[in-house]
Amino acid sequence: MPTQQHEEEVAVSDPYQLKEEPLTSDDEDKTRTEESETEEDEDEDAQLPNAGSDQGLSSLGRTLRSLLPSESFEQMVCEAERQVEEASRVALGPNTTVKSFGSTLQGTFLEGSDLDLYICSSREYDTRHTHDEQVKMLRFLEAELRKSFKSFEVKERRFEWHVRVPILILLFQSHQHELQVDISVGELDHVGVQKGFVDRLIRAALTKGEVALPMVLLVKRWAKVENLNKAFEGSLSPLAWTLLCLYFLICKDRLPKEALAVPAEEPVPRRNAVKLCQNCPTQQELSDFFDMVSELGQKAQATKAAHETGPFGVSLLPWKECHGETSDKAFFFIEDPAARLRGITVNVARGVKDQERWKNLLKRCEGARNLLRSKVFNSDNFLRQRAKQVPQGQAKIKAKPRPQPPRPEKKPMPKPPQTRVPAPLKPGVVKASPPPGVNGRQQDATLQKDKRDGHWRARSSDWRNAKRSRTYSWQQQEQQGWQRTPRMTWNV
């Protein structure tokens, strides 16, 4: 217990301590309003994906919480879609609509994900546009966006004739974020399936398992960090990685086998960040997923080498391992469930046609598997930078090093052609370049004749600094039969 002297010292040392006074009715009202405002602020902060305590979350759950999109990013996505729709109505007609598909419609978008949009024209006969019509409409939209809004910048135009669906790629910039917007034309894709139909199938499947959505988000983020999510560069697309995650969960009985049979009709629900991170998969489950992908890839390589059937792969409707069409030149096969319901066979992994890129993808999957099973695993590094080789003394399984691109073979330099070394010149004799058609002995005889006739004047001391002037020798024309052959003379 503090003594009376100690209490007096404390009171003296704290001269700014105020005495308690009775509160009036106005002061009580102020305190009540302040308490209510603070409670509302706490509720708003609790709804943010990056707020709140991380107690009870695994390392992958904490990292996933930091990767979820913020409220400002979601507002920017809505603003970009609104501006594109407003510009399309001015450029293409008042009844034109703009709809989103891809990760936005699936509910699997993260901070920095792309926004996929397609334009629906008002005319009935424009449901299936030709390639030239789609390019023309995208150019009209690009001109209107440049005229009306300054926040868009053209990144790339994929209008080539070999591109099945022309795409206009834009960058939407704000004060805090930068968003990539991919715009196409038409409600149907190149095989006649409605755009966004497969996304609604995936969204319905993600609601049937609590671990499904967190696992898809983690795998898609890893593929983006490893630069393995671009189909036009020979890798698997984000849709292919999502379908592989669902196939793995069906194999582990975490999802029903008919999870993708019926599409979702309700709008995209708002995600609960805390619950999403609590249901995050474990390191063992993620390592088993990458192990499954590497095993499927090895089987695909073996069947590709045999040249007996189409590419080996998987199907989700029904759930099984299968082969693609024999005309398919890809190294792997993932059947599109939306096209399957329409009676069409479409390979989502049709961009995997380069053997070296496919081997690199499988090696990166093996490295991720080994890293997840090691003692030095760090979830932040795993989902934010390319995986490196695990130290041999601290890993249970030695991770394979990062594959290096093949070096071009060094070809030996060609030897210079062997030339005849001319004989040393005598003092006072300068050898000029011969006229066309003259060489060897004929050249020497011509120089001696020119010297006798007085056409050659030179001195051995200053022949390097001499001026050359081109003249024509009529005597050479008469004697040698040349026709206006240029002759080199030296004017010293």
Count of CB atoms within 10 A of residue 342's CB? 13
- pLDDT at residue 174, rounded to an integer: 81
Domain finish residue from 140, 159, 185: 185
What phi and psi, each to the nearest 5 degrees, are found at residue 98?
Answer: -125, 130
Q: Which domain holds residue 97?
A: 71-185
> Is residue 435 in a domain?
no
CA distance linking residue 153 with residue 483, whole number of Å: 65
If asked whether residues 209 and 176 sit together in one domain, one would say no
> Is residue 26 in a domain?
no
Domain finish residue from 142, 157, 185: 185
If asked whether residues 276 and 325 sit together in one domain, one would say yes
If asked whether residues 226 and 119 sit together in one domain, one would say no
> Is residue 231 in a domain?
yes
> Is residue 6 in a domain?
no
If asked whether residues 178 and 269 sit together in one domain, one would say no
What is the band of 306 on the pLDDT scale with cuts at 50, 70, 90? low
If asked whether residues 265 and 286 sit together in one domain, one would say yes
If asked whether residues 97 and 222 sit together in one domain, one would say no
pLDDT digits (tens, 9 = 90+) for 4-29: 444 433 333 333 232 333 434 444 45
> Is residue 450 in a domain?
yes
If asked whether residues 115 and 262 sit together in one domain, one would say no
How many domains, in total, are found in the chain?
3
pLDDT digits (tens, 9 = 90+) for 275-293: 888 899 999 999 999 999 9
Give the SS3 label for residue 1: coil
- pLDDT at residue 483, rounded to an integer: 47
> Is residue 58 in a domain?
no
Q: Kindly state the average pLDDT of the residues 374-382.
A: 82
Instruction: Identify the weakest region by mean pLDDT among 71-75, 260-264, 486-490.
Output: 486-490
What is the band of 303 on the pLDDT scale with cuts at 50, 70, 90? confident
If asked whether residues 235 and 129 sit together in one domain, one would say no
Q: Kindly state the average pLDDT of the residues 143-154.
A: 90
Count of CB atoms within 10 A of residue 121's CB? 20
CATH number at residue 172: 3.30.460.10
42's enclosing H/E stretch is helix 25-47
If asked whether residues 289 and 328 sit together in one domain, one would say yes
Domain finish residue from 130, 163, 185: 185
Q: 164: Cβ–Cβ under 8 A, 6 or more apart, which residues?
A: 190
- Scan for tokens 């898809």, then name that residue: 216
